[in-house]
Amino acid sequence: MPHTPPESAPLAPSPSAAAPAEADNAWITRTPPIHQGETGPLAGLSFAVKDNIDVAGFPTTAACPSFDRAPTESAKVVQNLLTAGAQLRGKTNLDQFACGLNGTRSPYGAVPNAFDARYVSGGSSAGSAYVVATGQVDFALGTDTAGSGRVPAGLNNIVGLKPSKGLISTRGVLPAAQSVDCVSIFARTVPMACRVLAVAMGHDPQDPYSRELALADQAFTPAFRFGVPLQRVFCGDALAEAAFDEAVTRLTAMGGVAVPVDMTPLLQAAALLYDSALVAERYAAIRGFFDAHETEVIEPVRSIIAAGRTHSAADVFDAQTRLQALGQQARAIWPHIDTLVVPTAPTHVTIAAMLADPVALNRHLGTYTNFVNLLDYAALSVPSSLRPDGLPFGITFIGPCGSDWQLAELGQRYHQLTGLAQGATGEPLPAPQPVAGLHPASASRVQVAVVGAHLSGMPLNSQLTQRHAQLVRTTRTAPDYRLYALPDSTPPKPGLLRVATGSGHAIALEIWDMPMAHYGSFVALIPPPLGIGTLRLEDGTTVQGFLCEPEALIHAQDISHLGGWRAYMASRSAG
């Protein structure tokens, strides 16, 4: 059924939004709040969906008013969110048929950047990113084939979670290229995106490309290795290049080790998306409509999709074989790195420039995104900085299929260090939240903090390693603790005590991840006066860890000023 743009104004943004909603072109269809209950893990949260995702009772336009799709049931992912208590507020603008990375290819108008309306928002999930960045909803769904769930995030100072393929069902989502499509999540923080992912994900036997995936549930090691591109593409944008250099410096300060990566097979794979017979999949997605209504599809979308008709089946198989060969070459990267870190987009582009040169400039925006789904990777775009010209710069963490939660843990740590506000709202980032607890396997594992004889290289560390525990990271407590050397303990052990705010120190510790099946036997080994309690860390999160009974510390030596057990043991050796 035909659908015309709504006459009513879009949803009003929060008072701190960066631009007036009346001018943003972000909404195609507004709905009264749709929800299915007041309880659930997402209760009280509002969301929007890109208008190539079905919502029962509302047209799916894919930004083409004459496209006839009137769904009687919602997409599987939308239904999951509604069941979890989230409230749907409407459907958002996009590059027509999700064909583009810039947000200007729509008869409903170009969606501007949330920080400067002269610039593109990035696409194709332009409206979804904009309504999140300006605070109009708590999160939004996009789709991602070539980068549509990441480029708009990077250009608007928000988080874009592009899950492993098949992790979220695409049943009820109009395909762009069905074999590589993903439903993506936009949010202003990583924990919010993870909350949504935990609800949205799940195997769907009615989706041909859904699959049961084993997700890694252990964080990267403290000295994580991150790949950086040898081939640096910034399209002449010196501010973007400087921002990426700043990001690499920050990652190194976090303990990361930068590893140069030859991007050749990745960039060659990216070129296949539009410059090979693989483009035929875009034509196949809407073949019936396109053959009957080709003139109603706007340029350059029309030419891109029409090119898919010119390829034979043999051409497609040749392209698929070429892609597989490049994937084999790319596998050589991963034994040397934990994650690949790239600019989410190499530059910003004005709307005027994009309209004047829509193909070449759109291709620039996908430099670091086009290969990800083709090679079956997971990715997470997080804000990194605001450039001197006031425009956002984001980076993307990329990992093998199934690394979604690992990327999220690292991504939140990085985002917290930027000191940026949430999107374009001006609101500060909330205190960090442990994303590991949102992992579906979290109930089978536990994290425990150690401060003394269980530290790496210390006498009791084997009690952890024998139980298959792995070091997650080193950090410090909040500055509300005191550390004591316990008298007459063998091997020497410390006692940690929480004290009144302002009278303590930050104490160095390690966090270890252990299978829950072994946790009971570990705790049974802890001798009095030590025990397990809840420790508050310097980043505001909490973790289980060693504490000591206060009575046992009356005659113990206060070593808090040294900042940790290693420093104390070193001072004893020096003495």
pLDDT tens profile 424-441: 999 999 988 888 767 766
What pLDDT does 21 receive? 46
- For the chain, the average pLDDT equals 92
- The residue annotated as part of the active site, out of 46, 106, 121, 124, is 124
User: Do 441-574 and 21-437 have the same topology in CATH?
Assistant: no
What pLDDT does 452 receive? 96
Q: Is 503 a catalytic residue?
A: no
| Percent of the chain's residues with pLDDT above 70 | 95
Cβ-Cβ contacts under 8 Å for 474 (sequence gap 6 or more): 222, 255, 508, 509, 510, 511
Mean pLDDT over 36-42 rounds to: 85
Q: Model confidence at 468, in pLDDT bands (50, 70, 90)?
A: confident
pTM here is 0.80
Mean pLDDT over 249-268 rounds to: 97
Mean pLDDT over 495-521 rounds to: 91
Sign (positive or negative) of CA dihedral 185, 183, 436, 331: negative
Distance CA 417, CA 412 (A): 9
Kindly tell me if the per-residue pLDDT of 96 is higher than 80: yes
Kindly tell me if the per-residue pLDDT of 209 is higher than 80: yes
What pLDDT does 501 receive? 83
Residue pair 447/544 in contact by the 8 Å Cβ criterion? yes
What pLDDT does 38 receive? 78
- Summarised one tens digit per residue, pLDDT across range 145-161 is 999 999 999 999 999 99
- The residue annotated as part of the active site, out of 50, 76, 165, 493, is 50
What pLDDT does 479 receive? 95
Mean pLDDT over 282-306 rounds to: 96
Q: What is the DSSP letter of 201?
A: B
What pLDDT does 540 receive? 83
What pLDDT does 575 receive? 64
Query: What residue ranges do the domains of the chain occupy?
Result: 21-437, 441-574
The CATH number for 441-574, chosen from 3.40.50.2300, 3.30.420.40, 3.10.490.10, 3.90.76.10, is 3.10.490.10
Does the domain at 21-437 match CATH 3.90.1300.10? Answer given as yes
Distance CA 217, CA 508 (A): 24
- Tokens in use for 472? 């997650």
Kindly tell me if the per-residue pLDDT of 70 is higher than 50: yes
What pLDDT does 259 receive? 98
Q: Is 124 a catalytic residue?
A: yes
- The residue annotated as part of the active site, out of 74, 125, 128, 148, is 148
| Percent of the chain's residues with pLDDT above 90 | 84
Q: Is 381 a catalytic residue?
A: no
Side by side, the strands of the sheet bearing 481-485 are 494-498, 481-485, 557-558
